[in-house]
Every structure is written in structure tokens, then in C-alpha cells.
Amino acid sequence: QQQVKQSPQSLIVQKGGISIINCAYENTAFDYFPWYQQFPGKGPALLIAIRPDVSEKKEGRFTISFNKSAKQFSLHIMDSQPGDSATYFCAASMDTGRRALTFGSGTRLQVQP
Amino acid sequence: NAGVTQTPKFRILKIGQSMTLQCTQDMNHNYMYWYRQDPGMGLKLIYYSVGAGITDKGEVPNGYNVSRSTTEDFPLRLELAAPSQTSVYFCASSYRAARSDYGYTFGSGTRLTVV
């Protein structure tokens, strides 16, 4: 029940296109859902996060959509740029028990010029 | 403003050898974490700490040990290295249990190969 499933494993998008990465979770106790961005040779960095009291959060070209009933959330990258090429991880955590993030398996995004 | 510093960046160990991965943060964060990252597997939690003197196991603690004698330092110890421990190890810290909008601050990682 701690698992967070992420898809696709890899994604190729043309410059200017929309990148969509999906995640699903089982544990309904999760109540915090961040996305992390990782460039090669670097540690992941927080990109954007959402809590289940809202269905969408937008920061610049990055949007999280959250569907509580389906236990799914997704990251949309609008007007994708070559500089967005990185690995993206979804994650989830809860405020009880093990207070640490559970990460998805990651999506390698390549934005072609 | 160093953030989270991990040393070494790279290491090759022979089977059965021991080593300590160092992690130091200068942000006065109470929460610290060790993750390992394997290709296609995401990040798996090894150990975490909610404050000095307090540590707890994560998803994959076997073969590892940690200590947290100070707020700043959270070293990870491998006692008898095995090929299955070949991975990239990340240390992270957070202000409030990864739930704040500041999230985790990660170090740059240690790439460990066990041969």
C-alpha cells in the first residue's frame, strides 16, 4: 500500500508540445503529492506539489491535476522546451507513521528541438 | 550556502569491504533521509531520522546502518558490501517531514559500485 506507480517510463515530445506523466497510488492516507525533477548527475529537486483538497495546481508551464476518487495525479508540462529534458518523479507522503516520501519509478523526458 | 553535502561522489568497493557515506546539512533541518536510486526503480528509502538521536528503518534497510548524533550529520554505514548494493545513494533533508512546500533538499549523490 506504500507503492506509487508512475507511467510512462520514458517520453519523447517535440518542442512546444505537451508532456503528460501519470501516477497512481493505493494508500488513501497519502495527503501530499509532490513532483521532483532530476537532471543527470544531480539530486532531484522539488518542482511542484499538491494536496488533495484541490484538483489542480499551476505554476508557470507546470500543472498538477489530481483526481482523489481515482487515486491518480498527473504532471502536465505545457510548451515543453529542450531544457525540460530530465527525469521526473512523482511522490507521496502522509502525516502519520513513516513520515517520508514514497517515490514513483521515474519518467525520462526528452524534448526534441 | 552549501545545503546538503555528500562525500564521496564516487567509490568502488570490493565484496565484503565496509565504508561510510557521509552526509552533512547546514540548514538546521530536523528530518534527514537516505535513499538509493536504481535504474528504472525510482528512489527507495533506506533509513530516515526525525531528529538527533532518532533513526528508523525505511523500505530497504538490510545491509545498512545509520546514526544521528548531531542535527547536521547523518552518515550511512555499509558493513559487508555486496554487489546488490551497487547504486546511487542520495541523502536528503527537510524542514518539516517533506510536507512543506520547500520539499526535500537532496545532495548530489554518491555512486557506489561493488565488485
From chain B, the residues in CB contact with A99 under 8 A are 31, 48, 50, 97-99
Percentage of chain B modeled with pLDDT above 90:
81
Q: Which pLDDT tens digit goes with each residue over B51-103?
A: 999 999 999 999 999 999 999 999 999 989 999 999 999 999 987 655 556 57
Prior bond of A8 cis (ω within 30°): yes
The phi and psi torsions of B84 (rounded to 5 degrees) equal -65, -10
Kindly tell me if the per-residue pLDDT of A74 is higher than 70: yes
Asked if A43 lies within 8 A of B90 by C-beta distance, the reply is: yes
From chain B, the residues in CB contact with A106 under 8 A are 40, 42
Please report the pLDDT score of residue A1 as a whole number: 54
The nearest alpha carbon in chain A to B56 belongs to: A98
CB pairs under 8 A between A and B: 70
Place of cell 528541438: A113
Q: Kindly report which listed range (A27-31, A34-38, B20-24, B70-74) carries the lowest average pLDDT score.
A: A27-31
From the list B4, B40, B99, the residue facing A9 with the nearest CB is: B40
Q: In this structure, what DSSP letter does residue A83 have?
A: G
Q: What whole-number distance in Å separates Cα of residue A77 and Cα of residue A32?
A: 20
The phi and psi torsions of B85 (rounded to 5 degrees) equal -90, 5
Check if the beta carbon of residue A107 is closer than 8 Å to that of residue A13: no
Prior bond of A52 cis (ω within 30°): no
In chain A, which among 48-77 make CB contacts under 8 A with chain B? Answer: 49
